[in-house]
């Protein structure tokens, strides 16, 4: 779902000025607090070796039985990986980590950009008050393979950390059903972000790499804002 990420030199998006595009807009998000995840690598609690975390470079995600991991590299094989997509129980969680300033978060600004982009896509948008502050719930119009008009739901979650920002996007039942989202939200909350020491402009995607595991069967694609055609499933936790 690269539609709402920004790479190194993108110009700023124009915030939405149409009040009808957003209802019940919440105030700014709450930065991640000490003692709660997602975690900075310097603060992350240890997990038992039998249920450890999977090293994806800038992200270390908890190993969950039955969860599949798929990496997005829109440029094709050998190009930069932009996101990790976790598939569990019929829903997906897309994770992207971004560089952020040392003294300020970027979720407030990014959220307005996402809302503006969703408005251009004619989506119905609502801002909810979630566990980490403001979350965006969008119902986006799509055309089904058999030519029907439909909508798909996506929920955007953002957490500002020390010099990093973590964005999660829930799709499938987890986008709108709290019970269905529980397992993937727990994965999000126990994810560790590894911010390297390189000087990076705000919003630059932090580098990801594949874990050293074998290939698993391809995960079933779920409907999304874009046709989900990222890289292959590269791991399945058993």
**Model confidence pLDDT, tens digit, residues 191-219:** 999 999 999 999 999 999 998 632 332 33
- Listed in sequence order, the residues at least 6 apart from 227 whose beta carbon sits closer than 8 Å to its beta carbon are 221
| pLDDT of the residue at 74 | 78
Position of tokens 């440029």? 75
Mean pLDDT of all residues in 78-107: 94
d(CA 63, CA 52): 6
For residue 237, the model assigns a pLDDT of 58
Average pLDDT over residues 66-93: 90
Does residue 94 have a pLDDT over 80?
yes
Domain ranges of the chain: 31-114+154-236
Residue 215, pLDDT score = 32
pTM: 0.77
| Model confidence pLDDT, tens digit, residues 135-163 | 999 999 999 999 999 999 999 999 999 99
Look up residue 89 and give its two tokens: 């129980």
CA-derived radius of gyration, the chain: 17
Mean pLDDT estimate for the chain = 80
């Amino acid at each position: 779902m690269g539609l709402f990420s920004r790479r190194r030199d993108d110009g700023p998006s124009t915030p939405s000025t149409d009040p009808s595009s957003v209802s019940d807009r919440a105030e700014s998000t709450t930065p991640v607090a000490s003692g709660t995840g997602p975690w900075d690598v310097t603060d992350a609690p240890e997990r038992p070796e039998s249920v450890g975390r999977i090293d994806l470079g800038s992200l270390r995600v908890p190993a969950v039985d039955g969860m599949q991991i798929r990496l997005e590299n829109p440029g094709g094989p050998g190009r930069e990986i932009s996101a990790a997509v976790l598939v569990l129980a019929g829903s997906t969680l897309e994770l992207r980590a971004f560089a952020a300033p040392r003294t300020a978060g970027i979720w407030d600004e990014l959220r307005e950009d996402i809302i503006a982009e969703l408005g251009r896509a004619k989506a119905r948008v609502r801002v909810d008050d979630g566990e980490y502050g403001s979350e965006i719930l969008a119902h986006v119009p799509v055309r089904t393979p058999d030519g029907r008009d439909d909508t798909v739901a996506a929920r955007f979650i953002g957490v500002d950390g020390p010099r990093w920002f973590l964005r999660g996007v829930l799709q499938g039942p987890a986008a709108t059903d709290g019970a269905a989202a529980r397992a993937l939200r727990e994965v999000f909350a126990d994810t560790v972000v590894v911010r390297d020491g390189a000087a990076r402009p705000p919003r630059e995607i932090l580098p990801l790499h594949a874990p050293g595991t074998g290939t698993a069967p391809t995960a079933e694609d779920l409907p999304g804002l874009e046709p989900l055609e990222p890289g292959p499933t590269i791991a399945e936790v058993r």
